[in-house]
Structure 1
Amino acid sequence: MLTRYLTVKEDGTHETEIKKSRFICTLFRIKTETEAKEIIQAIKKEHWKASHNCHAYVLGDNSDCQRSSDDGEPSGTAGIPMLEILKKRELINTLAVVTRYFGGTELGKGGLIRAYGGAVNEALDSIGIVEGKLQQEIMLTVDYAQHSKVENFLANSSYDLKATEFTDKVILTCMIDENKLSAFETDITELLNGQQELSLGEKSYFEKDYLG
């Protein structure tokens, strides 16, 4: 099981224009190759008037499955440059489809490589990348009077807050790296003078924006 991964933040689209050709990059989070193929066919159906619908995707914890297609562009000028961007950004379980509407000006092989790779790069910057880390859930139960102090502490620490539940007390679900569990307990105990309850939850992946 991976301890961390990078992937696109959410499904989304980003468009750029180069010498009157439109390059529309659509990014998707995917789980299976079947899902990737269905999405690619749906994009082709939606943009059936486009000159090309090129794609690239990486699947698996170690990006074991890697696929790309030039969809009629000169060999090696579209799919491979797109795939190389996904690999360079160290993403997993991500599909990129770049739809091109030809604007009348030939870009040449080098121009196409830059255009398709650049379209994916720009889309990733626009939509965002998240880092998922395998962490331990810890439920921290405090009185309402302690809530603001705890929230402020967490906001200025390396610990992550996943959720907050308000009952007769406040229950904060914190996501903690396994090697920081002891330090977290010590920090919270010192902060609240031992006036808290701690209980372990599940181990799960917690995602937050990755700034590289």
Structure 2
Amino acid sequence: MEAYRAVYRGGDGRYEEKKSVFLSSVRPVKTEEEAAALIESVRKKYWDARHTCWAYSVGTKHPVLRASDDGEPQGTAGRPILDVLDGAGLRNAVITVTRYFGGILLGTGGLVRAYTAAASDGLKNSILADKIYGCRVMLVTDYNGVGKLQYFLAQNKIPVLGAEYAENVRTEVILPAGQEKSLTAELAELTAGRGRAEIISYTWYMQADGKIIPEE
């Protein structure tokens, strides 16, 4: 899988129905163990609440999808939360919804609507971004070719991670994996064969808030 939708910055949400309060939280995770630990931390935070329901998607190409009603009637909480998460195309993410019971029964339809609304509100307050499997490349040119290279990178919206000006100009860029060969060919043409491209590594990265965030 070359790209997927991910949580760049998690958010929290709230929904109230007939005095019951539903508090949601959306967070990125990398493993099922991390998801379980996060769910447990929410339970401890809201230790006096009646239910903390949740859903998560872990993995990229074939994600593991799990959900829990945590004591609510079957299918009224975990599944609606999972539908919100999966409907947004999210991977490696968890959504929890904690319910403080207000003393009035909502019925199965009311519960489905409430958990859906709370999860959706948490998602609305989060920042999502595409996570792309990319290639970090160092482009090495002499000073005669740097102007053409900079113009080419800007025109093609190829993110620049940094530049070093010494005997040669070394420009580090990142782009979707598979495009490095065409970039190498373009560099050779721009610099009449004097430039070279050195592959640094392959990694996942995000582009959000005008910034490039390579995965550590």
TM range (shorter): 0.7 to 0.9
Q: C-alpha separation between the residues in 1 aligned to 2:157 and 2:118?
A: 34
Matches within 5 A, 1:107-146: 107-141=106-140
Q: C-alpha separation between the residues in 1 aligned to 2:147 and 2:20?
A: 53
Residue 16 of structure 1: aligned partner: 14
Q: C-alpha separation between the residues in 1 aligned to 2:104 and 2:180?
A: 59
Q: TM-score, normalised by structure 2?
A: 0.77
Q: C-alpha separation between the residues in 1 aligned to 2:106 and 2:151?
A: 53
Q: C-alpha separation between the residues in 2 aligned to 1:41 and 1:189?
A: 54
AA aligned to 1:113 is V
Query: How far did 1:28 drift?
Result: 2.3
Does the aligned pair in 1 maintain the 2:15–2:117 contact within 8 Å?
Answer: no
Q: Tell me the alpha carbon deviations over residues 166-186 of structure 1, each in whole angstroms, 9 at most, x when there is no partner.
A: 453653321233443344345
Q: C-alpha separation between the residues in 2 aligned to 1:68 and 1:150?
A: 49
Residue 68 of structure 1: aligned partner: 67
Does the aligned pair in 2 maintain the 1:77–1:109 contact within 8 Å?
Answer: yes
Query: How far did 1:101 drift?
Result: 2.3
How big is the alpha-carbon RMSD for the aligned residues of Structure 1 and Structure 2? 3.1
Query: How far did 1:83 drift?
Result: 1.0
Q: TM-score, normalised by structure 1?
A: 0.78
Matches within 5 A, 1:183-194: 183-188=182-187
Does the aligned pair in 2 maintain the 1:8–1:124 contact within 8 Å?
Answer: no
Residue 213 of structure 2: aligned partner: none
Change (3 A) 1:137 1:64: closer
AA aligned to 1:172 is T
Query: How far did 1:45 drift?
Result: 1.0
Does the aligned pair in 2 maintain the 1:58–1:66 contact within 8 Å?
Answer: yes
Q: C-alpha separation between the residues in 2 aligned to 1:147 and 1:105?
A: 69
Q: C-alpha separation between the residues in 2 aligned to 1:124 and 1:170?
A: 43
Does the aligned pair in 2 maintain the 1:63–1:92 contact within 8 Å?
Answer: no
Q: For structure 2, which runs of at least 5 residues remain unmatched after alignment?
A: 210-216
Number of positions where the alignment pairs a residue of Structure 1 with one of Structure 2: 207
Query: How far did 1:54 drift?
Result: 0.6
Q: C-alpha separation between the residues in 2 aligned to 1:119 and 1:170?
A: 51
Q: C-alpha separation between the residues in 2 aligned to 1:51 and 1:164?
A: 51
Q: Do structure 1's residue 181 and structure 2's residue 180 form an aligned pair?
A: yes
